[in-house]
């Protein structure tokens, strides 16, 4: 990692002097910003890649963030060390171990479609291949599982509330994962990655992270990205950081390192 020479301690406050890594993150942070777009500044010479106002990418840029300095909470209320992230997305995750890496990716896309009232687009495949569609769930159908097969059974009345939608997502999180995500996305070239796309290693274990934002150097054409993830056990979505701050270089066609996972190409996917 890195060697930090501490000049002094303020024990009562539990503080140390800022490190070079902390300074780099701070230089790209507007501490009063409440969204990804407002909180995280672009590196010198870069500007954000423009997106359509009602796109999934624009939705991600507007995700609410917890106050600066907040720590990621696990589903059980415990906190995660801030070694790998610079901001915490302010979205509820419930009190079950059901908001891990792939779950967070699916949740963001589903929340986006729900906010746009595009309910027919909310659908995810279980690991066994079952197509779990929210349009069926909201009409009162529930999933009946027997051995390795799943079917729809009408057991409830129609419910279009967000609370019912969250229960649908809990079912999705229980039976979907990184192994099933390829069924709900398409593999793309790393050169085509944009905000809203994901880096994915299917498997058990596997991992998935999502590109929250993208910036470009208009002089050189070089791009950088913001990366969001959840992890195990279930935890709040976090904006990752590295030694240079919150922005990561674009992936290439090989190995790509993130703070808690190493991806091996091919790993570039676009969600349905």
Q: If 0-12 CB within 10 Å is exposed, 13-18 middle and 19+ buried, where does residue 109 land?
A: buried
pLDDT at 15: 33
Residue 87 lies in a domain: yes
pLDDT at 31: 81
Q: Using CA atoms, how far apart are residues 241 and 237, in angstroms rounded to an integer?
A: 13
For 140, phi and psi rounded to 5 degrees?
105, 5
| Nearest Cα to Cα of residue 173 among 271, 70, 97 | 97
Residue 64 lies in a domain: yes
pLDDT at 3: 36
Q: Using CA atoms, how far apart are residues 248 and 219, in angstroms rounded to an integer?
A: 18
Q: Using CA atoms, how far apart are residues 62 and 270, in angstroms rounded to an integer?
A: 20
**Which helix or strand (DSSP H or E) is residue 15 part of?**
strand 15-16
CB 77: neighbour CB atoms within 10 A?
Answer: 7
Q: State how many domains the chain has.
A: 1
Q: Using CA atoms, how far apart are residues 240 and 81, in angstroms rounded to an integer?
A: 12
Cβ 86 vs Cβ 243: under 8 Å: no
Q: Which residues of the chain have pLDDT under 70?
A: 1-24, 26-27
pTM of structure: 0.88
Residue 224 lies in a domain: yes
Residue 17 lies in a domain: no
Residue 2 lies in a domain: no
Q: How many residues does the chain have?
A: 272
Residue 45 lies in a domain: yes
Domain that holds residue 42: 22-271
Cβ 212 vs Cβ 226: under 8 Å: yes
pLDDT at 148: 86
**Which helix or strand (DSSP H or E) is residue 108 part of?**
helix 101-115
DSSP string, 194-244: -TT-EEEE-SSS-EEEEEEEEEEETTT--EEEEEEE--SS-B--EEE-BTT
Q: Using CA atoms, how far apart are residues 64 and 236, in angstroms rounded to an integer?
A: 12
Please give the DSSP secondary-structure letter assigned to residue 251.
P
Residue 231 lies in a domain: yes
- 3-state class of 10 per DSSP? strand
Residue 83 lies in a domain: yes
State pLDDT tens for residues 123-175: 999 999 999 999 999 999 999 999 889 999 999 999 999 999 999 999 999 99
């Amino acid at each position: 990692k890195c060697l930090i020479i501490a000049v002094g301690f303020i024990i009562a406050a539990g503080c140390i002097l800022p490190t070079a890594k902390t300074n780099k993150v701070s230089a790209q942070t507007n501490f009063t910003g409440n969204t990804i777009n407002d909180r995280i500044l672009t590196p010198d010479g870069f500007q954000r890649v423009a997106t359509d106002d009602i796109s999934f990418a624009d939705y991600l840029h507007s995700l609410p963030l917890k106050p600066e300095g907040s720590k990621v909470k696990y589903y059980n209320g415990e906190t995660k060390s801030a070694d790998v992230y610079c901001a915490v997305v302010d979205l509820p995750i419930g009190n079950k171990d059901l908001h891990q890496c792939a779950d967070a990716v699916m949740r963001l896309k589903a929340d986006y479609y729900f906010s746009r009232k595009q309910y027919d687009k909310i659908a995810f495949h279980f690991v066994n291949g079952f197509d779990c569609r929210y349009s069926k769930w909201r009409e009162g159908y529930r999933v009946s599982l027997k051995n390795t097969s799943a079917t729809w059974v009408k057991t409830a009345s129609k419910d279009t509330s967000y609370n019912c939608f969250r229960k649908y997502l809990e079912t999705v999180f229980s039976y979907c994962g990184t192994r099933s995500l390829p069924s709900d996305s398409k593999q793309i070239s790393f050169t085509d990655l944009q905000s809203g796309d994901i880096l994915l290693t299917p498997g058990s274990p596997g991992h998935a992270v999502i590109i929250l934002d993208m910036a470009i150097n208009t002089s050189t054409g070089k791009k950088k990205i913001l990366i969001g993830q959840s992890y195990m056990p279930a935890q709040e979505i976090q904006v990752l950081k590295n030694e240079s701050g919150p922005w990561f270089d674009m992936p290439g066609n090989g190995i790509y390192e993130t703070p808690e996972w190493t991806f091996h190409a091919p790993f570039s996917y676009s969600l349905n």
